[in-house]
Amino acid sequence: MSEMASPDRATLLEIYRIATLIKTADDRFIELIKAGQIASPYYSPRGQELIPAAISVNLRPSDTVVTTYRGIHDQLGKGIPLKPFVAEFMGKATGTCKGKGGPMHITHVASGLPVTTGIVGAGLPIANGLAWAAQLRKSDDVTVCNFGDGATNIGAFHEALNLASVWKLPVIFVCQNNGYAEHTKYELGTSSRTIADRAIAYGMTGVEVDGNDAIAMWNAARSAVGRARAGEGPTLIDAKTFRFRGHLLGDDSHYISKDEMAQAMAADPLPRLRAWLIDQGHATDGALTDLERTNEQAFEEAVRFGLDSPFPDVSELDLDVYAMETAA
Amino acid sequence: MTMQILLPKLGFSVNEANLVEWMVADGTQVAKGDPLYALESEKSVQEIEAPVAGVLKIMKAAGEVYEVGTVIGEIG
Amino acid sequence: MSTAAAKQINMVQAIALALDEAMGRDDSVLVLGEDIADKQGGGVFKCTAGLSTKYGTERVKSTPIAEQAIMGAAIGAALGGMRPVAEIMLMNFMTVGMDQIINHAAKLRFMTGGQTHVPLTIRTATGAGFGTGGQHADYLESWFAHTAGLKVVAPSTPADAYGLLLSCIFDDDPCIFIENLPLYFVPGAAPVPGERVPIGQAKVVREGSDVTVVSYSRTMLEVLGVAEALAKEGISVEVIDLRTIAPLDMATINRSVARTGRAVIAHEAQVDFGVGAEIATRLHRDQFGRLKAPVGRVGAARSPVPFSKPLESAFIPTAARIRAAILDTLAPSVATP
């Protein structure tokens, strides 16, 4: 772990709790998909758990988080309730979005998750708007916007960073840089040396950090959130990480060299954090196992809830298109 | 309790997949997580694990393409 | 009846009045767009003049030339509880922000199961007649009317512009408010302060009995001119100003065509796959036994908007083409057994 300010024990354990909950969710979703109980394209965040875990302990319920189709880790980090979360993946009426959005559009306003997008890069301009609204309300709430390295090459990224900087918006742009934009390795699609370098072009603070180092990530997040709350404007965080399970479930990662994958898996941040917590005396193996079991049980209850829930009635097609049914 | 094995959706625009081979014989006792069958869909061949422990009953033959959601077997 | 002292304003003034009224009434109303603040001139057509001075530059913001950023900021602000009025200077530039408009503004209410909604108004201007060419004068309302979740309005008079803009701003769904360049400076009766025009309500602006002509935006001027001329020839034309494109007020159109049995739809957008096609299809379904002739459509020529003046003038629905289409419905119909 890094040599810098460290979060207290309770915070460290909370980071670990969130990270293992994410892994539990990811493992179970994959099992459910393979068992045919969820039918949806699925974008696993396995390997990237520490990023939202370390960010979320720096946020309040009223802060907002924008994320993408690869977003279960960001959503769980923000505290989305498990039952409607799982039910939405199953397309059930009890889902967060009544089954009408699905995994790519998980939304839970009460948890500070107002929008999840399936369009690469589209969340950044919207995050600006959420931050602007917070500014107008004279609150010091912040907006965290998550996206991948691939998104940094699309127009919306550039437009949004520029505007956020010019308007000094309280937004934190978190690039979860796993080195692959779908199947294309970073070097083959991105002209900048690092994503953090792009901050220079937009007159904002850019930070490169090891996203798989809980303490480094926590520090980077704390700084950026503090900057935003103080009215000092946006930050671009280039958080280096890796994804173990491909772009989409069903993807065999043939475009990633076996060596690179093996190296990344050997450096899996979760067991590394677990061992470190025990080593530093922050928790016993037993305590961590209990924590993991609690997560598993809670998730299992949510799975049960989802499986037992009904599908939405076909009349739902006519609802929520407009404020009230409007014959066009 | 018998659990149905449904052909899963693995990939983006797939509604069917090729059940390439069963990795255990009909009637075998399997543990949860044991490799059960191989599935080929748009991107690749994936190994699918047994979702629960029990005795496998094969209901659909390998070497054929089935629609997502087809009951291909049971474990009880 | 109007008196000599009756107040007249043009559409620019009507829009400015509506924005001022809305911003004064509700702190959550925001205005953003390229060059819209007073330091940059109060808008290229001056529709937003005075607003930033009166309401401050936190609520009235000039933006960079960045339609995705503009649309996204407006959508995010709407999700955050505000009522933003975003200006896209010219309708052709909507294309640059299409992902935000179509994939997000239109769909978030549905995709979130009603948890969020986007009370956004997009003001945009277009219209041929100034030699601005193929990328600065398109009417694209069909694209937006075709997208569930959006509302689309296109007023033709200052009073309707004022009333509809107020309705759009206080509507809880994303509304696209289409303005027309030549129409900006055409005077009309001033609106009653605070009086809103409901979205989804067409208006019979001229009563008639022989044929119904449905139109909107700038083409209304041509249509009314043609109706006046035909009246002198003994042909009675009923003219309906659609005012709202989506949701379509078929009740008003049907009431009229049920009586006249003949209909023509005229608009400046392309004919093919246009608003006229939608209305014509619905009329064929709703008035099948009563129609005395197929429903006619008049629109722009099937080409990009041309630059050269004589071409541009021939491109838009001319009085001559509208007149011809009306007469077509009155010509002896196809022989039926």
The mean of the pLDDT values for chain A is 95
Q: Do A31 and B7 touch (CB under 8 A)?
A: no
Same domain assignment for residues C167 and C288: no
Residue A3 is predicted with a pLDDT of 58
Which residues, in sequence order, are CB contacts of A83 under 8 Å at separation 6+?
A: A94, A301, A302, A305, A306
**Tally of domains within chain C:** 2
Question: Does residue C47 register a pLDDT over 70?
Answer: yes
Q: Which of C21, C34, C67, C312 is catalytic?
A: C67
Question: Does residue C334 register a pLDDT over 50?
Answer: no
Same domain assignment for residues C55 and C98: yes
Residue C5 is predicted with a pLDDT of 46
Say how far apart CA A28 and CA C206 lie, in whole Å: 66
Question: Does residue A28 register a pLDDT over 50?
Answer: yes
> Mean pLDDT across the stretch A221-247?
97
Say how far apart CA C247 and CA C106 lie, in whole Å: 14
Same domain assignment for residues C57 and C108: yes
pLDDT digits (tens, 9 = 90+) for A135-152: 999 999 999 999 999 999
- Contacts with A, C 15-34, CB within 8 Å: 30
> Mean pLDDT across the stretch A88-99?
97
Residue C48 is predicted with a pLDDT of 98
Same domain assignment for residues C224 and C246: yes
Same domain assignment for residues C269 and C209: yes
Neighbours of chain C (3+ CB pairs under 8 A): A
Evaluate whether residue C123 is within a structural domain: yes
Residue ending a domain, among C165, C189, C213, is C189
Same domain assignment for residues C156 and C225: no
Residue C3 is predicted with a pLDDT of 47
- Contacts with C, A 83-142, CB within 8 Å: 95-101, 105, 107-109, 114-115, 117-119, 122, 124-137
Residue C181 sits in which domain range?
A: 8-189
pLDDT digits (tens, 9 = 90+) for C121-133: 999 999 998 899 9
Say how far apart CA C151 and CA C211 lie, in whole Å: 28
Q: Do A128 and C148 touch (CB under 8 A)?
A: no
**C-alpha distance from residue B10 to each of A62, B41, B72 (Å):** 36, 7, 16
Say if CB A152 and CB A189 are below 8 A apart: no
pLDDT digits (tens, 9 = 90+) for C189-213: 999 999 999 999 999 999 999 999 9
Q: What are phi and psi for residue C37, nearest 5 degrees?
A: -80, 165
Same domain assignment for residues C259 and C128: no
The mean of the pLDDT values for chain B is 91
Q: Tell me the percentage of chain A whose pLDDT exceeds 90.
A: 92
Q: Which domains does chain A have, with CATH numbers?
A: 9-306 (3.40.50.970)
Residue A327 is predicted with a pLDDT of 43
What CA dihedral angle connects A5, A8, A14 and A17, to 10 degrees? 80
- The answer to whether C67 is a known catalytic residue is yes
- In which band, very low, low, confident or very high, does the pLDDT at A1 lie, cut at 50, 70 and 90? low
Say how far apart CA A165 and CA A155 lie, in whole Å: 16
Say if CB C122 and CB C75 are below 8 A apart: no
> Mean pLDDT across the stretch C48-72?
97
CA B24 to chain centre: 11
Task: Report the relative pairing of strands C211-215 and C263-270 from DSSP bridges.
Answer: parallel
Neighbours of chain A (3+ CB pairs under 8 A): B, C
What's the predicted TM-score (pTM) here?
0.93
The residue to which tokens 């995709």 are assigned: C111
Q: What ipTM, to 2 d.p.?
A: 0.93
Question: Does residue C333 register a pLDDT over 70?
Answer: no
Alpha helices, DSSP H, located in A230-316: 258-266, 269-279, 285-308
Say how far apart CA C182 and CA A5 lie, in whole Å: 64
Q: Do B6 and A35 touch (CB under 8 A)?
A: yes
Residue B44 is predicted with a pLDDT of 81
Our answer on whether B and A touch (3+ beta-carbon pairs < 8 Å) is yes
For residue C122, give the nearest of C98, C146, C142 by alpha carbon: C98
Say if CB C14 and CB C163 are below 8 A apart: no
Q: How far is B5 from chain A (nearest CA, A)?
A: 6
Say if CB C171 and CB C199 are below 8 A apart: yes
Q: What is the DSSP letter of B32?
A: T
For residue B47, give the nearest of B62, B35, B63 by alpha carbon: B35
Say how far apart CA A169 and CA A13 lie, in whole Å: 31
Say how far apart CA C310 and CA B47 lie, in whole Å: 68
Burial of A252 (0-12, 13-18, 19+ CB in 10 A): exposed
Tokens of C176: 């696209």
Tokens of C266: 């005229």
Residue B10 is predicted with a pLDDT of 86
Residue B1 is predicted with a pLDDT of 76
Range of weakest confidence among A226-235, A318-327, C48-57, C231-240: A318-327
- The answer to whether C284 is a known catalytic residue is no
Report the chain B residue with the minimal C-alpha distance to residue A28: B51
SS3 A304: helix
- Contacts with A, C 28-87, CB within 8 Å: 30, 58-59, 61, 63-64, 66-69, 71-82, 84
> Mean pLDDT across the stretch C122-146?
95
Evaluate whether residue C198 is within a structural domain: no
Question: Does residue A2 register a pLDDT over 60?
Answer: no
Per-range mean pLDDT, top range of A2-11, A20-29, A179-188: A20-29
Evaluate whether residue C3 is within a structural domain: no
Evaluate whether residue C292 is within a structural domain: yes
The CATH number linked to C263 is 3.40.50.920
Say if CB A11 and CB A42 are below 8 A apart: no
Q: Which of C87, C136, C141, C267 is catalytic?
A: C136
Residue C4 is predicted with a pLDDT of 42
First to last CA, chain B: 6
Residue A251 is predicted with a pLDDT of 84
Same domain assignment for residues C124 and C220: no
Query: Does the beta carbon of B32 lie under 8 angstroms from any beta carbon of chain A?
Result: no
Q: For the packed helices A285-308 and A9-34, what is the interaxial angle rounded to 10 degrees?
A: 40
Correct CATH for B3-75 of 2.40.50.100, 3.40.50.150, 3.55.50.30, 1.10.10.60:
2.40.50.100
Which residues, in sequence order, are CB contacts of A142 under 8 Å at separation 6+?
A: A59, A63, A64, A131, A134, A170, A171, A172, A225, A228, A229
> Mean pLDDT across the stretch C299-328?
95
Residue C332 is predicted with a pLDDT of 63
For residue A209, give the nearest of A22, A55, A59, A12 by alpha carbon: A55
pLDDT digits (tens, 9 = 90+) for A273-322: 999 999 999 999 999 999 999 999 999 999 999 999 999 999 999 999 99
Residue ending a domain, among C189, C213, C232, is C189
Same domain assignment for residues C160 and C18: yes
Evaluate whether residue C85 is within a structural domain: yes
Q: What phi-psi label fits residue A98: left (phi over 0), alpha (psi between -120 and 50 degrees) or beta?
A: left
Say if CB B76 and CB B15 are below 8 A apart: no
The CATH number linked to C144 is 3.40.50.970
Our answer on whether C and A touch (3+ beta-carbon pairs < 8 Å) is yes
CA angle at A101 for the pair A97 and A107, rounded to the nearest 5°: 55
Strand partners, C90: C125
The residue to which tokens 């030699």 are assigned: C131
Question: Does residue B63 register a pLDDT over 50?
Answer: yes
Query: Does the beta carbon of A296 lie under 8 angstroms from any beta carbon of chain B?
Result: no
Q: What phi-psi label fits residue A246: left (phi over 0), alpha (psi between -120 and 50 degrees) or beta?
A: left
Say how far apart CA C98 and CA C167 lie, in whole Å: 23
- In which band, very low, low, confident or very high, does the pLDDT at B22 lie, cut at 50, 70 and 90? very high
Residue B11 is predicted with a pLDDT of 80
Residue ending a domain, among C126, C156, C189, is C189
pLDDT digits (tens, 9 = 90+) for C100-110: 999 999 999 99
> Mean pLDDT across the stretch A55-82?
98
Say if CB C147 and CB C106 are below 8 A apart: yes
> Mean pLDDT across the stretch C143-152?
98
Question: Does residue C337 register a pLDDT over 60?
Answer: no
Q: Tell me the percentage of chain A whose pLDDT exceeds 70.
A: 98
In this structure, how many other beta carbons lie within 10 angstroms of the beta carbon of residue A194?
16
What CA dihedral angle connects A176, A182, A187 and A189, to 10 degrees? -110
Same domain assignment for residues C214 and C174: no
Question: Does residue A236 register a pLDDT over 50?
Answer: yes
Say if CB B39 and CB B7 are below 8 A apart: yes
Question: Does residue A267 register a pLDDT over 80?
Answer: yes
Rounded to a whole number of angstroms, the CA Rg of chain C reads: 20
Strand partners, A267: none
Q: What are phi and psi for residue A279, nearest 5 degrees?
A: -60, -40
Q: Within 13 Å and on the Cβ side, how many CA atoms surround A20?
A: 20
3-state secondary structure chain C: CCCCCCCEECHHHHHHHHHHHHHHHCCCEEEEECCCCHHHCCCCCCCCCCHHHHHCCCCEEECCCCHHHHHHHHHHHHHCCCEEEEEEEEHHHHHHHHHHHHHHHCCHHHHCCCCCCCCCEEEEEECCCCCCCCCCCCCCHHHHHCCCCCEEECCCCHHHHHHHHHHHHCCCCCEEEEEECHHHHCCEECCCCCCCCCCCCCEEEECCCCEEEEECCCHHHHHHHHHHHHHHCCCCEEEEECCEEECCCHHHHHHHHHHHCCEEEEEEEECCCCHHHHHHHHHHHHCCCCCCCCCEEEEECCCCCCCCHHHHHHHCCCHHHHHHHHHHHHCCCCCCC
Strand partners, B45: B40
- Contacts with B, A 238-257, CB within 8 Å: 248-252, 254
Same domain assignment for residues C251 and C292: yes
CA angle at A200 for the pair A197 and A204, rounded to the nearest 5°: 115
Same domain assignment for residues C96 and C23: yes
Say how far apart CA C15 and CA C18 lie, in whole Å: 5
